[in-house]
Structure 1
C-alpha cells in the first residue's frame, strides 16, 4: 500500500548541515531515501522551513530549494511533482513523487515577485505562517490573535491566480476564517489534528474541520506527540481518536497524514521515523475497512492534488 505524507522538514536539517546523507543518514534524519523505499512512500511533501538562525532571508529559501534539487531530486527513484501529469506519471511508474512547499512566508518580505519565483521553481503549496505573526497574517500562537494584513490578502489572491495551494497549519483562527471567505480555491491543513480530541491551539476545532471538509480540502494528521494526546508516552492508537472524530464530522475522505518528521524531537511510540509507517498501516487495517485505510494513507491526498495542481506545465503561464 502506497503512502502519501504531506509534511516533513528534512530540508531544514540539510540546510543546517549539508553534510547529512539523505540516502541513509539514520541517526540524524527521520526521512531518508532508504526509509521511504522501505515504507513504500509514494509521495512526500518537502517543506522549506527556515530555522531561527537563518533569520527568514529569501536567499536561504533558495538554498533549501537548491538542496532539494541537488540532494533529493538527484535520485532516480524520485520525481518532481509540479502538475497533474507529474502526479499521474509518478503514480503509474512507481516512482516517489516529491512535492515542494514553503512553511511560513516571512522570507518573501511582502514581495509577490518572490512568490512567483518560487512557483517557477516548483513550489506548489504555501503555509502562510509558522506559529507567530509575519507580514501576511498572525500565527496561532501570536498573542493578539489577528487575521490577515492587506498585503496578506493580496497574497491569497495571487496564490489563487497562480494555482498555489494554501495551507492553514499554524495559522490563527481569525486568519483561517478570513482565508475561507477570501479564497476561491480549497485549502489544506498539512499537519494538524483535532482540538476536540487534544486541546492544543495548533489543532483545529470542529467548525474549522467541517469547513475544510465542506470546501474539498484535506487535513493531514500529524505525529507530533503533544498534538495527539496530552499524556506521555503517546502511542499510535491515540491517532485513532482523531480519525474517528473527523469521520464523525463527515470527513472520511478529507483525512490524510502529515507526519512532521524531522521537525520534531519527541516521537510517537512505534512511529519514530518514516520507516515505521507500516506499523501505522497495520493498526489502521485492524480498525477500518481496507477502502478507508487506502484513502487515509494515500488516496485522499492524491485526489486532492490531482484536482488542484496545474494540469500541465508551461513556463510563465498561470492557471
Structure 2
C-alpha cells in the first residue's frame, strides 16, 4: 500500500495485456491474483485512475478469430469492470471530467485492440467492437496482417486496400489509431491518412535505445506535429540494452522526447502483463508513486502531472467520439 508521505498523483496508463492472460488462463482473477501485474488492488495502490486494456491475440493461439476478440471484451466487462469496479471509458464527455475524479473511488478502464488480425478483414466486426466500447486500434502487431505490415515485417510495406478502408472507417467513427507496432512505411502512410492525431501507446525513443519497436526522431516529431501522444513504455529491452534496468533509465527517453518538443505529448504505456521481465522497482502499477517521486526530483510538478495523466486526459477529451444524443 501507499507509504505515508508518498507522492500520489493520479495516473493514466495507456497499455497493459492483462486481458490476454485472463483469456488464456480462465482461473486468473483480476482481484488479488498476482499472476497478473495489473490487479484491482495494484491500480488503487498506484493511483491509476484510468488503465487501458489491450485485446491481444497471441500467435500461439493459431489463426486469429473474431471470437477471440469477443472473449476478451467479455473478460473486460465481467472480470475487470464488474469485478474490479472499473467504469468503462467511451466518450469525450466522460474524458472531459476525468481530471477532477481520477483519485475518487473506482477507476476507469478503456479498451483497445492490439492488431486488426482478429477482425478478419470485416468492417462490420470493427463497428461491433466500437459499439462494445473499444476506442483505439493498433492496426498491426509485429508482423503483416490483412490491413498493413508490422514493424518486424522485413519488406516494410504500408497498407493494403482493405487496410485503407479500415482507416477511413476509423476516421468516420471516431476510433483512434495507434502506431506502436506499425511498420515505418505504414506509419508515414497513416500520418497522411488519419484525420485525428495518432498515438504510440507503448513505444520509446530509438535514438536512446535502438530497438525497432521504438520511434525514430522523425516519427516522434510527426506525432508531436499532429498533437498526438507517445506513451513511454516499461519494456526493459525498449529502455536500454543493459541487463539490469532501473527507473532512472527512463529519464533519458523523457529528456530526448522533450528536446524534440514533446513535453506536452508524453504519457506512459507500461505494457504490464505483456512482459516477462521488468524494470527493477517498476514491476507493477503499485510502484507508480515511487516513480512519481523520482520524476519530481528532476522535473517540475506541472510536467510530471502532465506525463502521469494530464496530457493523456487532454488528448482523450479532445479526440474521443462524442456520446450519441438521446432523443
Give the TM-score, by structure 1 length: 0.96
Change (3 A) 1:77 1:89: farther
How far apart in 2 are the matches of 1:273 and 1:76?
17
Choose the corresponding residue for 2:163, options 142, 148, 152. 152
Structure 1 counterpart of 2:319: 308
Change (3 A) 1:75 1:85: farther
Structure 2 counterpart of 1:37: 44
Query: Residue 98 of structure 2 contacts residue 313 of structure 2 at CA under 8 Å; is this kept in 1?
Result: no
Taking the TM superposition and a 5 Å limit, the aligned residue runs for 1:107-256 are 107-256=118-267
How far apart in 2 are the matches of 1:278 and 1:162?
36
After superposition, give the CA deviation of every residue in 1:134-169 in whole Å (9 maximum; x if it has no partner): 000000000111111111111110001000000000
- CA RMSD in angstroms, aligned pairs only: 1.4
Q: Secondary structure at the match of 2:129?
A: helix
After superposition, give the CA deviation of every residue in 1:236-273 in whole Å (9 maximum; x if it has no partner): 10100000000000000000000000000010010011
How far apart in 2 are the matches of 1:74 and 1:133?
35
How far apart in 2 are the matches of 1:314 and 1:227?
43
Using the TM superposition, give the Cα deviation of residue 77 of structure 1 relative to its aligned residue in structure 2, in angstroms: 3.6
The alignment of Structure 1 onto Structure 2 pairs a total of residues equal to 315
Unpaired runs of at least 5, structure 2:
1-8
Structure 1 counterpart of 2:81: 73
Give the TM-score, by structure 2 length: 0.94
Q: Does 2:23 align with 1:12?
A: no
How far apart in 1 are the matches of 2:64 and 2:306?
36
How far apart in 1 are the matches of 2:109 and 2:98?
9
Using the TM superposition, give the Cα deviation of residue 92 of structure 1 relative to its aligned residue in structure 2, in angstroms: 4.1
Unpaired runs of at least 5, structure 1:
none
After superposition, give the CA deviation of every residue in 1:92-137 in whole Å (9 maximum; x if it has no partner): 4423111000000001111111100010000000000000000000
Using the TM superposition, give the Cα deviation of residue 89 of structure 1 relative to its aligned residue in structure 2, in angstroms: 5.0
Structure 2 counterpart of 1:51: 58
Structure 1 counterpart of 2:94: 86
Query: Residue 40 of structure 2 contacts residue 84 of structure 2 at CA under 8 Å; is this kept in 1?
Result: no
